[in-house]
Amino acid sequence: MMRLALTGGTVVASLSPPRVLEADVVVDGERVAGVGTAPAGTPARDCSGCLILPGNVCAHTHLYSALARGMPYRLASPSTFLEILQRVWWRLDRALDEETVRASALAGGLEALLAGTTTLVDHHASPNAIDGSLDVIAEALASLGLRSVLCYETSDRDGPDRAVAGVRENRRFLSRVAAGTFPLARGMVGAHASFTLSEETLSACVEAARDAGAGIHIHAAEDGVDERDASERFGTRVAHRLAAAGALDRRTLLAHGVHLDDGELAAVRDAGAAIAHNPRSNMNNAVGRARVAAMGTRVALGTDGIGADMFEESHAAFFRLREDDVHAGGDWPLARLAEGAALAGEAFGESALGRIEPGAPADLAVLDYAAPAPVEAATLAGHWTFGLSSRAVRDVLVAGELVVADRLPTRVDAGQLVAAARAATGVLWRRLDEIPAHAFEPKGVR
């Protein structure tokens, strides 16, 4: 096991509350062994003039979208959120096979590491390649040295057989995780959203999660269509439907929550469920503004598949909030990132994940940041929002291993990985061009 001292840097030991000190960080095996002065003779990596931070966590993403940038589009331009799903994402996921699932995970995972993100919470869908798909992703990310929390997006939109297969894939993967097959991966039970889930399928997801002692990861009220469908089919709203089904508890991770009303937000808070806020995606899809100030403290940040740069996402989240509330404090995005680390820590049974202290998992990022003003606890938020970016990421450690050194991955050849991803992209795009818009429509479409 590696022993290494990161010496001479400014250590951000905690994002929330902010804690900053001048110290060396000693890593022994997978954990932080000490924060202070490195013992003489310890192999060292000079971090003078650098910030040493806890690795960032992306609390909601879709790695399968990594090969979608600039993909050809020849259908009528979508004008609603449902049409975006029907004409773009529900076509892309049907075009995926094992090769392109792997290529997407590798490409997206590499970008995450280079941006200082050490854990990805992924929500995967590949309706024509369900069985074993989570193993493919877990193995791809582990080959990079990246942590992950994975699930398969169960849905009735592609028919009952694929809904059953989605639940089965979640169960199978969770059993392999429990057996210790993937040390750097954990699992949840994935479900798309209320408006594509029958009562039987939602119940099957709840049962699978209960049997495995896992949480449910589900899109909730991302767009108004989700709420309208719940109202028309079940006479209730999304969060209340989830609660009645037993799908809303402390282990639940809700993505978006843009259209949750006051009563639903109270139910979410009372259940202790977490919400992954994805501000750039919400803006890109024009689904509305999430009322993050009313969501409580269990709010983390995700990208919804728009990369995994949590510096950029946290900036967008803060400025979007600030536009609504000029009194919003600069420590708000730091608290949201810390909450993401806490969520990942719960999945891994690591309560100190996201902090730099003795015994904590050594998931760290070293930023080459020439600070023009002192970096202290009181000034960290200002530096984070107005100075720090992923461009400054020099080194990354995950579970004590140096997986990015001097801006290059240590486990893979980045050039070869990107070239392979481009080749896979060509195959994916040709296949995609022959897939029509998805025919599924919820009752709430009217």
Is position 35 within any domain?
yes
- State the total domains in the chain: 2
- Using CA atoms, how far residue 192 sits from 153, 166, 318, 380, 431, in Å, is 5, 10, 27, 37, 23
188 and 102 belong to one structural domain: yes
Question: 288 and 231, same structural domain?
Answer: yes
Q: Are residues 380 and 235 in the same domain?
A: no
pLDDT for res 188? 98
Mind listing the pLDDT tens digit for each residue in 154-198?
999 999 999 999 999 999 999 999 999 999 999 999 999 999 999
Per-residue pLDDT tens digits for 97-155: 999 999 999 999 999 999 999 999 999 999 999 999 999 999 999 999 999 999 999 99
Query: Within 10 Å of residue 247's Cβ, how many Cβ atoms?
Result: 27
Tell me whether residue 426 is in a domain.
no
**What are the distances in angstroms from CA 419 to CA 70, 137, 345?**
16, 19, 34
For 357-385, write each residue's pLDDT tens digit: 999 999 999 999 999 999 999 999 999 99
Distance CA 155, CA 205 (A): 10
Q: Is residue 435 part of a domain?
A: no
Residue numbers of the domain that contains 265: 56-348
- Final residue of a domain: which of 348, 368, 391? 348
Within a domain: 202? yes
Amino acid residing at 265: L
Indicate if 9 and 89 belong to the same structural domain: no
Whether residue 399 sits in one domain with residue 324: no
Q: Is residue 131 part of a domain?
A: yes
160 with 30, same domain: the answer is: no
Edge-first strand order for the sheet with 117-124 is 56-61, 117-124, 147-152, 185-187
Residue 2 — very low, low, confident or very high, per pLDDT cuts 50/70/90?
confident
Radius of gyration of the chain (CA): 21
The residue from 297, 315, 348 where one domain ends is: 348
90 & 141 share domain: yes
Residues 327 and 267 both lie in one domain: yes
Q: What is the pLDDT of residue 446?
A: 60
> 45-104 pLDDT, tens per residue?
999 999 999 999 999 999 999 999 999 899 999 999 999 999 999 999 999 999 999 999
Domain co-membership, 42 together with 119:
no
Asked if residues 141 and 184 have their Cβ atoms less than 8 Å apart, the reply is: yes
Q: Work out the pLDDT band at 338, boundaries 50, 70, 90.
A: very high
User: Where does residue 80 fall: left (phi above 0), alpha (psi -120 to 50 degrees), or beta otherwise?
Assistant: beta
Same domain, 164 and 210: yes
- In the chain, pLDDT over 90 holds for what percent of residues? 97
Q: Is the pLDDT confidence value at 444 over 80?
A: no
CA dihedral 402, 405, 410, 415 (to 10 degrees): 150
- What CATH number is given to the structural domain containing 397? 2.30.40.10
CATH number at residue 242: 3.20.20.140
- Identify the band that residue 1 occupies on the pLDDT scale cut at 50, 70 and 90: low
**Residue at which a domain ends, from 313, 332, 348:** 348
How does DSSP classify residue 86?
I
> Quick one: 174 and 247 in the same domain?
yes
Q: What's the chain's average pLDDT?
A: 97
Alpha helices in 294-413 (DSSP H): 310-324, 332-348, 380-386
Rounded CA-CA distance 294/443 in Å is: 29
Domain membership flag for residue 430: no
Q: Are residues 262 and 344 in the same domain?
A: yes
Task: Note whether residue 437 is domain-resident.
Answer: no
On whether the pTM is more than 0.75, the answer is yes
Asked if 133 contacts 126 with a C-beta cutoff of 8 angstroms, the reply is yes
Per-residue pLDDT reduced to its tens digit, 187-243: 999 999 999 999 999 999 999 999 999 999 999 999 999 999 999 999 999 999 999
